[in-house]
Structure 1
Amino acid sequence: MPEFFARRRPGRPGLAVFLNAGDPPLDTLPDLTAMLDESEVDCLELAVPFPGSATDGPVVRASAGRALAAGATFRGVLDAVASVRPGLRRLRIALLADWSHTARDTAPADFAAAVRDAGCDGLLLHGVPPRLRAAHYEAVRRAGLPLVTTCYAVSGPDAVAEAADLASAYVYLVAHYGRSGTTAAPNRDRLGAVLTTLRSTASAPVAVGFGIRTARDVARVARLGADAAVVGSAGVARIEEARVLGRDPVEELRSFVRDLRAPVRTDTGQPEEGIDTHDRP
């Protein structure tokens, strides 16, 4: 079973990058994943695009719309993953799929097996009705497919405990409630408290997402106790910018990842990679 974020450099938080499969087009996925691998990104959170997400903001929703308009399908995404996975040395691929749009008409065991057989290293299944979660999670476990679970910084103790108990890939801790790409500042005391709980109870690593846009943001969540940061809308926006300006989306994302990995200055003025001691919680 692959270990997510285990290959990060000592003292540096792991990094996951979210993208909608098909935006940029799927035929760029080999170059895109190779670049992320070379850039020491730990995880590509690759979404099978679906319309009308209630948790995504306009940037991610527009991206999903472009991918769907270009013909991205579940089977096409799995075929693309299968073609690139053997060549990756470091990068893990966690597939994000919406139950209603992607998994609803497939038996849980068959769905989990298809994701596993394509070479995905983990699965985040979005929007599963509560009455069906046990069946899907058991199917994922039986398939030997690591599971990504989610909870919020404002989730109650039971939801946090369930996320910690079921995660075998990583726990995705959403820093604040709302749609992706929004600018609401997380309650850092609350976020830190939930991170402390998860780190003491979960056997899988904990990654924090929503509102992560810069190297300083990555460093801040690391100082609060996160194993990794998940970057979503900010990276998707760079892909869109490249499309509008006629630039290479792979090189645009390479530049963005480089910025995210830039050293953060301490209060003594010295660079310290992955650690932010200037703006303490």
Structure 2
Amino acid sequence: MTRIDRKFAALRAEGKKAFVSYIMAGDPDLETSLAVMKGLPAAGVDIIELGMPFTDPMADGPTIQLAGQRALDGGQTLQKTLDMVAEFRKGDDTTPVVMMGYYNPIYNRGVDTFLADALAAGIDGLIVVDLPPEEDEELCIPAQKAGINFIRLATPTTDDKRLPKVLQNTSGFVYYVSITGITGAAAAQAAEVGPEVARIKAKTDLPVIVGFGITTPEAAKQIAGVADGCVVGSAIVKQIAEGKSPADVTAFAGTLAAGAHSA
């Protein structure tokens, strides 16, 4: 079992839904983002998604694009992101960390080298949005063999014909993208999300977590209520963009976590 598997087992035992928080590594600088990361578990965050900054983030809206640009401008690299996780692990060996981003930086490093380094740093899962299931031999299957979950995205356009392909080598959880479009573009609606989550859950035993378009504690509660949990990214990243202190950012994340946990 990975840390992700253990976390979901513990949440199920407590009858709670999961709250997942996304932040961009190195935004606005390494010190600040590490301080935020370290504060998230105590605020109630169950799983941390850590963005790998990249120059061409095609799935991301302006908020996360700008976060990635701030991180890159500040000198953030893939190595520094791995180091950040290793530093986080010195004080927290239980909170799952999922790296989310694009394949180019991993490819440049070399898959085998990256997976060994990721495992050593304490990374539990990967979300690589530009590698479709047809490319599973490239990274997904090697990651699973190394003991790292490979988490796939399903979307409103993932029809019943496509869904089994999306699910076939997925592990950890399924990330359901609640809207058609980029991050931060629209509000998720529980009435629309619920039937889609049920459709996915009929085909897999994995938890289904919903992201994109969740910005308030009430929205977190509503979406978590029709899924196994929810992810918030852009709303938290906006707090960082506004120059809020790490304590204020984690306090905000805590209000969202409380919303999800009350579902």
Whether TM exceeds 0.5 here: the answer is yes
How far, CA to CA, are the matches of 2:208 and 2:132 in structure 1? 24
For the 8 Å contact 1:95–1:123, the answer to whether it is kept is yes
How far, CA to CA, are the matches of 1:12 and 1:63 in structure 2? 31
Residues 1:127 and 1:86: Cα distance change in structure 2 (over 3 Å): same
Q: Which residue of 1 aligns with 2:60?
A: 56
Q: Which residue of 2 aligns with 1:269?
A: none
Please, which of 13, 16, 33 is the counterpart of residue 12 of structure 1? 16
Q: Which residue of 1 aligns with 2:247?
A: 251
* Structure 2 residues not aligned, in runs of 5+: none
Residues 1:263 and 1:65: Cα distance change in structure 2 (over 3 Å): closer
Number of residue pairs matched by the alignment: 259
Report the 3-state secondary structure (helix = DSSP H, G, I; strand = E; otherwise coil) of the residue aligned with 1:135. Answer: coil
Structure whose alpha-carbon radius of gyration is higher: 1
Report the 3-state secondary structure (helix = DSSP H, G, I; strand = E; otherwise coil) of the residue aligned with 1:253. Answer: helix
* Higher mean C-alpha deviation, range 9-18 or range 255-264: 255-264
The answer to which structure has the higher helix fraction is 2
How far, CA to CA, are the matches of 2:175 and 2:34 in structure 1? 26
For the 8 Å contact 1:154–1:176, the answer to whether it is kept is no
For the 8 Å contact 2:152–2:174, the answer to whether it is kept is yes
* Higher mean C-alpha deviation, range 204-213 or range 176-185: 176-185
Report the 3-state secondary structure (helix = DSSP H, G, I; strand = E; otherwise coil) of the residue aligned with 2:89. Answer: helix
Q: Which residue of 1 aligns with 2:229?
A: 228
Higher normalized contact order (CA 8 Å, seq sep 6+, divided by chain length):
2
Q: Which residue of 2 aligns with 1:238?
A: 239
For the 8 Å contact 1:7–1:90, the answer to whether it is kept is no
Residues 1:126 and 1:58: Cα distance change in structure 2 (over 3 Å): same
How far, CA to CA, are the matches of 1:132 and 1:83 in structure 2? 32
Residues 1:184 and 1:33: Cα distance change in structure 2 (over 3 Å): closer
* Structure 1 residues not aligned, in runs of 5+: 265-272, 276-281
Residues 1:186 and 1:154: Cα distance change in structure 2 (over 3 Å): farther
For the 8 Å contact 2:119–2:148, the answer to whether it is kept is yes
Q: Percent identity?
A: 28
TM-score (norm 1): 0.84
How far, CA to CA, are the matches of 2:259 and 2:212 in structure 1? 21
* Higher mean C-alpha deviation, range 200-209 or range 179-188: 179-188
Which AA in structure 1 matches 2:210?
V
Q: Deviations over 1:99-147 (max 9, x none)?
A: 12x1222433332222222110111122126653333111111111111
Tell me if 1:274 matches 2:262.
Answer: yes
Q: Which residue of 2 aligns with 1:153?
A: 156
